[in-house]
Structure 1
Amino acid sequence: MALYFLGWELELLEERVRTVERRLERRMLRDTKNAYELPRNEFMDIFRLSPELSMDLTNTLRPFLQRERNSGIPVEIQVLVAVYFYAKGSYQRATGDHFDLNVSQPSVSRCLHAITDAINNNLLRQWVRFPMTNLERNNAREEFCNAPQPFEGAIGAIDCTYINILAPKDHEEAFVNHHGNHSLNVQAVVSPKLKILNINARYPGARNDSYIWSTSPIRRAMEFHYNKGERHTWLIGDSGYPLEPWLMTPLPHYREGTRQLKYTMKHCKARNVVERFFGVFKSVWRCLSYQRVLMYAPDMAGKIVNACAVLHNMRIHYRIPIDVENIENGNNDEYAIRNFQQNEDEIAESPRDLELLQCKFKNKYSKIGSMDTLMVMLKHNKQKITKQINLYLSLKMCNKLKIVVCFV
């Protein structure tokens, strides 16, 4: 019996020794590897940030991330661990095993929580700001007036998107969206330059867009300015939102040649910027992709969305280019589905135009299915196109397919 316990204690001791050896090995690898010595393009491909932006972010967060002991993980590595997770959406163990990071899975978890909390608590309000002052709102209106697809009086385009999450323990049914997935329904307001003006990641997937808008502080802010006499400033949203004096939506079912139809087409062209934003946002920060699931509770998942929003605006401020070509070449199927750039898409201006475009696409891509079905679905309900689009994706035709937009 004594020999049994002695053997058991020896096994425990050996396991502790192996654990210490692994820690020492990881620390030695971290000391010999320096991610900032990577070529600039490789660094940006891995972390989605430039080395300068990454270092500035580290220095900004450093006061809030003091190490508990001298042998702890350096702040630079903590930031890179979190940013790598945001950019790749990998499991924590795979993130820690990256050759430039070399940290354990528990350390990845601690780094991710620490960095995410630090960004939410200290940077979110600074980097994601809705225009509230007269100067800010005038600048926002001017930006929309000078946009490639202008819309006079608009200061932002609004829409919602689903971010898949782990099924929560409490009120699980509230997070099931109409696709049957557990998710958050995230509302965003963006500028023509894809800058995030507001992000709201607090609502479960079962809540619809109009409900989130009705309880949003942004709606109260728009109503406040309207009641103060600001009559020519509004947001633009799709038909999922109510038409209000401060929120412009499409006007469906009007005939060709009417002012209402012309307004609707101009509105849809200008509002497409928010569709493009979601594609870019989820492509850069792959942890938010529809192909991924954030394996966290809703509160933590919402904080991760907020952190990615801050980093997105920081990328714009540092003028890091958006690699749209890389996105369109197949690295993001969702962006291929929702690729609504005006210089590439064809807009159906009337039922006759729609019919001609249907014939054109049906003849050109007759081998991959009925374009008529896709067109009608796009015209009536953008949420119903998922299964049809998946067919095109499975046939690898998405990089050649032009989607005709007619959400009226």
Structure 2
Amino acid sequence: MADIDALILMLTKRNSRRKPARIQTKKRFRLHQNVQQLPEELLIERCRFDRDTINYLSDLLSDKLVNPYAHNHPLSVEAKICAALAYYTSNSFQTAVGNFVGVSQSTISHAVTHVTDALVELGEQFIKFPPAESHAQEKQQFSDVAGFPDVLGGVGCTHIAIRAPPGDPHTFLNHKSFHSLKVQITADVNSAITSVVARFPGSSKDSFVWRKSPMATRCAAGYLGKGHLLGGPGYPLRPWLLTPVRRPACRAEERYNQALRKTLRQVAKTCRLLKKRFRCLDGARVLNCFPEKCGRIIIACCVLHNIAVARNVPLPPEEGATQGSNREEEEDGEEEGEEEEEDTESPQYQLGQQKRQAIIQQHFEKL
């Protein structure tokens, strides 16, 4: 009998130590911030876009971002766009961006992916070379910069820092000793991006990226007419792509080089503005994803940059102020030190040389 009493006492003590049964409650979701209630100053600071432009982006992307099968209080289109913009324009991790809109890091990651893909799909609508009917106006605007005739744009490369990719990281290691994608852009005089290539490793040469770009094919097919682009010493000389004289032998050739460099600074300025608006590209913190996705983020930022230029969206004062010297402006958009090894017997090179010499004689000898 005593054994039974001891057993009952032991079971009673064990049951008393058990945690009480959990009371089932209805799951509560964190409320997403209402973007329309955020102050204009905060939107500019965190997203680099004003409310009207965010509303414009919402209308533009709504069909691509609305998920009819979503449940459990999904992010609104406006919140997705603000989350992606805050990621593009911040050096913070995605967790910090998640705090801005009141959702988790995984939700932010999905929002960034969806908005990036939607913007890349619109790339051809917003990143395009000026049509033939506007070439005369483009030439005049570029001529006003430094007197260089018949210019329709400048071409240059910049490096966007990425994490070392698995498998073959050394090909992405550039001459500045960090892993990057080498991004080629062409830009007009108003700092709008007219073409972009963002898929080649950081070790690639300017000339290689150019030859593989769609713009090179279009130029060779005669799209520029009698106009031309300007490029740095790393680019091949062609009738449609004029480069500096390597060893100027007279004052006219020096003037030509000076005018070319001054005009080409528009590309460096465009790269600089792109990185100032979208801090994920400025190298302070690398893009922490695979190269293909990094390239898509870069293109998405280029689309947004052109939207900002077209809508005259200013940078915040501390970001938009011009700082530094011309040397700082030239760090992007023009590869330093490595010249293109030309096949001087190539018919295209010889035609380019003839055109360059004619421009020097007609426009720079009598100055």
Common fold, TM-score beyond 0.5?
A: yes
> Quick one: which of 78, 81, 86 aligns to 2:80?
78
Where does residue 262 of structure 1 map in the other structure? 255
In structure 1, the partner of 2:328 is: 338
Q: Tell me the secondary structure at the aligned position of residue 119 of structure 1.
A: helix
Unmatched segments (≥5 aa) in structure 2: 1-18, 339-367
> How many Å apart are 1:290 and its aligned residue?
1.9
Say which of 129, 133, 136 aligns to 1:135.
133
CA distance in 1 between counterparts of 2:314 and 2:105 reads 32
Counting aligned pairs with the same residue, the percent is 28
TM-score w.r.t. the length of structure 1 is 0.71
Q: Is the 8 A contact 2:48 2:316 kept in 1?
A: no
**RMSD in angstroms over aligned alpha carbons?**
2.9
Alpha carbons 1:250, 1:267 under 8 Å: kept: yes
Answer yes or no: is the 8 Å Cα contact 1:36–1:43 preserved in 2.
no
1:37 is displaced (CA, Å) by 2.7
Partner of 1:87: 89
The alpha carbon displacement at 1:258 in A equals: 2.3
User: Is the 2:232–2:243 contact (alpha carbons within 8 Å) kept by the matching residues of 1?
Assistant: yes
- Cα offset for 1:87? 0.8
Partner residue in 1 for 2:99: 97
- Aligned residues between the structures: 315
Question: How far apart, in 2, do the equivalents of 1:248 and 1:170 lie?
Answer: 38
Match of 2:14 in 1: none
1:41 aligned partner: 41
Using the alignment, how far apart are the partners of 2:136 and 2:112 within structure 1? 38
Structure 2 residue 153 is matched with structure 1 residue 160: no
**Aligned-pair CA distance for 1:111:** 0.3
Give the superposition deviation at 1:186. 0.2
Who wins on radius of gyration, i.e. which is larger?
A: 2
Query: Contact 1:140/1:154 (CA < 8 Å) preserved in 2?
Result: yes
In the alignment, residue 155 of structure 1 is paired with which amino acid?
L
**What TM-score does the superposition give when structure 2 sets the normalisation length?**
0.78
Question: Structure 1: any 5+ residue segments left out of the alignment?
Answer: 1-9, 341-376, 385-408
Task: Indicate conservation of the 8 Å contact 1:252/1:261, yes or no.
Answer: no
Q: Of 281, 286, 308, which aligns to 1:315?
A: 308
Equivalent AA in structure 1 for residue 208 of structure 2: Y
In 2, Cα distance between equivalents of 1:109 and 1:316:
27
Aligned to 1:351: none
CA apart distance, 1:173: 2.1
Counterpart of 1:192?
A: 189
Partners of 2:276 and 2:319 within 8 A in 1:
no
CA contact (8 A) 2:174 2:180 kept: yes
For 1:298, which of 266, 291, 294 is the aligned residue? 291
SS in 1 for 2:154: strand
Please state if 1:242 is matched with 2:236: yes
Question: Displacement of 1:329 after TM fit?
Answer: 7.0
Instruction: Sort the Cα spacing of 1:336 and 1:137 in 2 relative to 1 into closer, same or farther, 3 A.
Output: closer
Higher helix share: 1
Q: Deviations over 1:16-57 (max 9, x none)?
A: 989x55xx2x22xx2xx4333333233212211111111111
Deviation at 1:90, TM superposition (A): 1.9
| Aligned counterpart for 2:200 among listed residues 200, 203, 212 | 203
Give the structure 1 partner of residue 273 of structure 2.
280
Correspondence for 2:11: none
User: Contact (CA 8 Å) 2:159, 2:182: kept in 1 or not?
Assistant: yes
Compared with structure 1, are the counterparts of its residues 383 and 191 closer, same or farther at alpha carbon in structure 2 (3 Å cutoff)? same
CA contact (8 A) 1:188 1:196 kept: yes
Cα deviation, residue 139, structure 1? 3.5
Deviation of the 1:252 alpha carbon: 2.8
